[in-house]
Amino acid sequence: MLLAAVATREGVAKRQSAIVDGALPSDIAATLSSTDAAFTESIQAALADTLPPPEPSDWVTVEVQRGQTLSQIFEAHGLGFSEAIAVTKLSPESARLKNLRAGDKLQLRKTPESRLAELRFELDGKATLHVRRDTENQLEAVTTAIEYERRQAQAMGIIENSLFLDGQRAGLSNRLLMQLAEIFGYDIDFALDLRVGDRFAVIYEELYRDDEKLRDGDIIAAEFVNRGRSFRAVRYIDQSGNTAYYTPEGDSIRKAFLRTPVDFARISSHFNLRRRHPILNTIRAHKGVDYAASAGTPIRATADGKVEFIGVKGGYGRVVILKHGSQYTTLYAHMSRFRSGLRAGLTVRQGQVIGYVGASGLATAPHLHYEFRVNGVHKDPVTVPLPRANPLPRSVLAQWKLESAPILARLDAMAEQHLARVQATATTATP
> In this structure, are residues 122 and 105 in contact, taking their beta carbons and an 8 Å threshold?
yes
Instruction: Give 36's pLDDT tier (boundaries 50, 70, 90).
Output: low
Q: What is the 3-state secondary structure (H, E, C) of 54-66?
A: CCCCCEEEEECCC
Q: What is the mean pLDDT of residues 216-241?
A: 94
Instruction: Give 430's pLDDT tier (boundaries 50, 70, 90).
Output: low
Q: What is the mean pLDDT of residues 290-315?
A: 93
CA-closest candidate to residue 200, choices 183, 175, 218, 217:
183
> Which residues neighbour 403 within 8 Å (Cβ) at sequence distance 6 or greater?
none
Instruction: Give 279's pLDDT tier (boundaries 50, 70, 90).
Output: low
Angle between helix axes 2-20 and 26-47 (nearest 10 degrees) is 150
CA-closest candidate to residue 356, choices 258, 262, 259, 257:
262
Q: Which residue has the higher pLDDT, 166 or 41?
A: 166
Query: What type of residue sits at position 155?
Result: A
Q: Across 59-68, 72-81, 87-96, 197-206, which has the greatest mean pLDDT?
A: 197-206
Sheet holding 127-133, edge to edge: 59-63, 105-110, 116-122, 127-133, 139-145
- pTM, two decimal places: 0.57
Q: What is the pLDDT at residue 4?
A: 41
Condensed to tens digits (0 to 9), the pLDDT of residues 1-19 reads: 434 443 444 444 444 444 4
> Which residues neighbour 318 within 8 Å (Cβ) at sequence distance 6 or greater?
311, 312, 333, 334, 335, 336, 337, 338, 355, 358, 360, 361
Query: Taking 50 as the threshold, does the pLDDT of residue 317 lie above it?
Result: yes
CA-closest candidate to residue 184, choices 242, 240, 154, 229:
229
High-pLDDT (> 70) share of the chain, %: 82
Instruction: For residue 241, count CB atoms less than 10 angstroms from its CB and return exposed for 0-12, middle for 13-18, buried for 19 or more.
Output: exposed
Condensed to tens digits (0 to 9), the pLDDT of residues 339-383 reads: 999 999 999 999 999 999 999 998 889 999 999 999 999 999 888
CA-closest candidate to residue 304, choices 328, 288, 287:
328
Q: What is the pLDDT at residue 389?
A: 80
Q: What is the pLDDT at residue 323?
A: 95
What domains sit in the chain, N to C, each tagged with a CATH number? 2-44 (no CATH), 59-145 (3.10.450.350), 149-246 (3.10.450.350), 266-379 (2.70.70.10)
